[in-house]
Amino acid sequence: MTSPHHATDFLHDLRLRSAAEGGIFWVDDDQLAIFEPNAARRVSSENWRGLVMPDRLVDMVRRRRSTQVRWTRVRTAWLTQLHKLTTGEHNATMIARMEQIIDARLGADVDLVMLAQDVAVQSMLPVALSGLTPREAARVSQDLNQKLVRLIDRHSGHGPWHRLHFAAVQVRAGLVVRRVLRERASGRRPRELDLADPIVDLMPELGMDRALDVVTAVLTAIGGPPGAAAASVLYELARNPEWARRLTAELRGMDLAELCAAPTKAAPVTHRFVKEVLRMWSPPLVLVRRSLFSFDLGTTRLEKGRGYLLSPHMIHRDHRFWQQADTFDPDRFLPGAPHGPADRGYYVPFGWAPKKCVGADIGTIQLIALCYLMCTRYRLIVPDVETITVAYRFAPVPQQFRGHLSLR
């Protein structure tokens, strides 16, 4: 695992090179950095457009081709389901789950990074995979947690025994997902309103192993970036008391049903705050991809099969595209703000269309809900917040970020 110091130096070097070389340059012999917004959008879009699911395991073993299923079919199924999962009623249910998790930590000295991860993951888990028994939920959560602590460099075990345990936990979680899909498909388990359920309808084409991979991808997606973003929200609320007061003034006394029905419209100041958190601290920091086509990018050429890097973080912190890029100021998202984004393509916290994260809307709602809870129900006290630093892991992670929560 790269140390925070080395990761920071690496990112600093990338920023300098990006500014000097127009956002497109070779990091090494097989990795092209594409930090210029238009080029990043083009390469991401064209590589994704024709992407198909990998062959089924049984077909790979038998050296034959599987029936092709485009990723766009899976994505369309998820988007349709997410439209049903972001109603006012479902948003209120998610907020209630978030409250339960936070209430259990009241009065204690809390690791706020891990609290944010627990709040994000446990409140989002039923969106990805619901109807689990307590034992099943515990096995899936254990797998998500062990992956998370690796991502943020909190794991303490090494050696063959630790690797074996890690693999065993993954296998047990995979067996849970496999059982849920199989039993829903056979009618032995009821269908649920979650992101796993549309995959049941695609199983005749996908096969079990590809269906398992798809649902595992959803679970992995909720097990890191949402919690990192939530930790960054807590970090900015703690170190910007004036903005915390502005959010409190907007959210205090607001009807919860109104907020749940249309969060971004009901709380525009809070929405700007969340957008600025995602601009400055959007996870993950760098995306590593391999090109499916050849691209002429003007200053250089990306050949088919070569690796490339994308980074919303680099674009968001580029002074060519953002004035005062390293200053936290949600008002940059006010209409006509001179230091706001000069182009829509310069703000990409959830990636690029048509591969933009399907959970963008529900993720934004979750962060607005976290602001609502922190500004109306709870009081967050973080001693010596000005001394807290941010380390760059898979995402920006505040270090030694501890505090106390109490009811208002």
Please give the pLDDT value at position 324.
94
H or E element: which one contains 308? strand 307-310
Burial class (CB in 10 A: 0-12, 13-18, 19+), 228: buried
Please give the pLDDT value at position 2.
43
Number of domains the chain contains: 1
The answer, yes or no, to whether residue 223 has pLDDT greater than 90, is no
The domain of 273 spans 4-407
What is the C-alpha to C-alpha distance for residues 99 and 378, in angstroms, rounded to an integer?
10
Q: Which of 342, 407, 360 is nearest to 381 (CA)?
A: 407
Please give the pLDDT value at position 66.
84
What CATH code is carried by the domain that includes residue 78?
Answer: 1.10.630.10
Q: Across residues 164-190, what is the average pLDDT?
A: 96
pLDDT band at 156 (very low <50, low <70, confident <90, very high): low
pLDDT band at 158 (very low <50, low <70, confident <90, very high): confident
The answer, yes or no, to whether residue 26 has pLDDT greater than 50, is yes
Q: Which of 118, 124, 128 is nearest to 94 (CA)?
A: 124
Convert the pLDDT of each residue in 84-137 to its tens digit.
999 999 999 999 999 999 999 999 999 999 999 999 999 999 999 999 999 999
CB 199 within 8 A of CB 216: no
The answer, yes or no, to whether residue 190 has pLDDT greater than 70, is yes
Please give the pLDDT value at position 1.
38
Which residues neighbour 336 within 8 Å (Cβ) at sequence distance 6 or greater?
Answer: none
Please give the pLDDT value at position 52.
86
Please give the pLDDT value at position 203.
94
User: Which residues are bridge partners to 287 per DSSP?
Assistant: 310
Please give the pLDDT value at position 34.
97
Taking the mean position of all CA atoms in its chain, how far away is CA 12?
23
What is the C-alpha to C-alpha distance for residues 243 and 250, in angstroms, rounded to an integer?
11
Please give the pLDDT value at position 393.
85
Secondary structure (DSSP) of 258-278: HHHH-HHHH-HHHHHHHHHHH
Mean pLDDT of the chain: 92
Tell me the pTM: 0.93
Convert the pLDDT of each residue in 307-363 to its tens digit.
999 999 999 999 999 999 999 999 999 999 999 988 888 999 999 988 889 999 999
Q: Across residues 50-71, what is the average pLDDT?
A: 83
